Structure 1
Amino acid sequence: MMPGKILAAVMLAMVISATGSWQVQDWHMGQKLADLNLAHQADVTTISNAANAQTRKVLEKQRAAEQARAELDAIATKEKANDLFENERLRRAADDSDRRLRITGSCRANNRNVSSSTSMGNARTVELTSIAERTVFDIRAGIIADQAALRALQNYVREFCR
């Protein structure tokens, strides 16, 4: 054989060997990539499931807190409505003259707030005018609303701001 043909045969053998080695390496690399892809998919699935479970827990806690807040609000609203209803009942009774609003107190003549020269004495009852009665009931309704709001806020702080 001639040296050119031997060289060509050796070159051809080298190309075939290199191509075969390349192909085998490609198969191994493809298998590794497939294995990595499966592992990646398994990790993504695990992370996704954990995130979904955590989201469900958070939503359940949020729903429970919202329900508890709604219950507290309902209780506070009912108490306030009952107190305001009682105040309105007393106002109507005073307006209908079934009952009168009287204030018991004492005044001394030497008090700077008393403009009269006569004294009312101690432990006397003062009957208010109808306008003053309405004003007192309006003030009382405001106090009831403020106390109800304060109680609701205190309950909220006790229950949810621990």
Structure 2
Amino acid sequence: MSAILLKTLPYLAALLIGATGAWMWQANSYGKIISDSNASHQTDLTNIANVGAAQARQALEKQQQAEQALADLDQKAQKEKTDVLAENEKWRRAAADSARRLRIAGSCRAGGSDMPSSASSTSSTSMGNAGSIELSPASGSTVFDIRAGIIADQAALKALQEYVSNVCRR
């Protein structure tokens, strides 16, 4: 038995060396595949991160542009409102100082009514004496208060319309 073992021993050794070589080559090949896969995965992650960062920058820039547009609109609307309210206040002071008088144009209809009593009497009931009515200082102040409220409401409405047109619809 030992003679057979001695004859087959070189074959067994060659087989063992071949199997070990094949195993090492396979392990090396598998390591290269894993290394390549890891490198590819890392490249993909880097690309995804770069794209995400670019999208975040674009979104931030767009948000900053919208905020700047809103600030510009707000500044413009505030200036317009302040200018008109200053003019209203100038007129109020002039009326309070008696430098100017607040008058309202009006006309009088015969019969003391705004509406004629019949359709046929429309031409005969109008006296055509349009004139002006001077308001008391308290009434004039009330008119200026009402005008200031209207100015503020119109400025707010205009600012909202510009906001919708210039910021929301972009």
TM-score scaled to structure 2, two decimals? 0.78
| 1:74 aligned partner, one-letter code | Q
Q: 1:1-150, aligned counterparts within 5 Å?
A: 1-2=1-2, 5=5, 9=9, 17-112=18-113, 122-150=129-157
Shift of 1:57: 1.9
1:3 & 1:97 partners in 2: Cα distance? 140
Question: In the alignment, residue 128 of structure 1 is paired with which amino acid?
Answer: L
User: How far apart are residue 3 of structure 1 and its match?
Assistant: 8.4
Deviation for aligned residue 1:122: 2.6
**Aligned partners of 1:105 and 1:112: how far apart in 2?**
13
Range that drifts further, 75-84 or 38-47: 38-47
Cα distance, 1:17 vs structure 2: 4.8
The partner residue of 2:164 within 139, 157, 162 is 157
TM-aligned CA deviation for residue 105 of structure 1: 0.7
Per-residue CA distance 1:4-60 (angstroms, 9 max, x = gap): 947x95777766654443332221111100001111111111121122122222212
The one-letter code sitting in structure 2 at the alignment partner of 1:34 is S
Which stretches in structure 1 are left out of the alignment for 5+ residues? 114-119
Q: Deviations over 1:121-140 (max 9, x none)?
A: 73121111112111100100
TM-score between the two structures when normalised by the length of structure 1 = 0.82
**Greater helix share, structure number:** 2
Q: Give the share of equivalent positions with the same residue, in percent.
A: 54
Aligned-partner residue type, residue 52 of structure 1: A
Hey, what's the Cα distance between the residues in 1 that align with 2:142 and 2:3?
126
SS of alignment partner, residue 130 of structure 2: strand
Per-residue deviation, residues 56-97 of structure 1 (Å, max 9, x unmatched): 222122212211211111111000000001101111111111
Distance 1:24 1:107, change over 3 A: same
Instruction: Classify the secondary structure of the residue corresponding to 1:98.
Output: coil
Aligned pair count reads 158
- Measured in 2, the distance between the counterparts of 1:3 and 1:72 equals 104
Work out which structure has the larger RCO, using CA pairs closer than 8 Å and 6 or more positions apart in sequence.
2
| CA-based RMSD | 2.8
Unaligned runs of 5+ in 2: 115-126
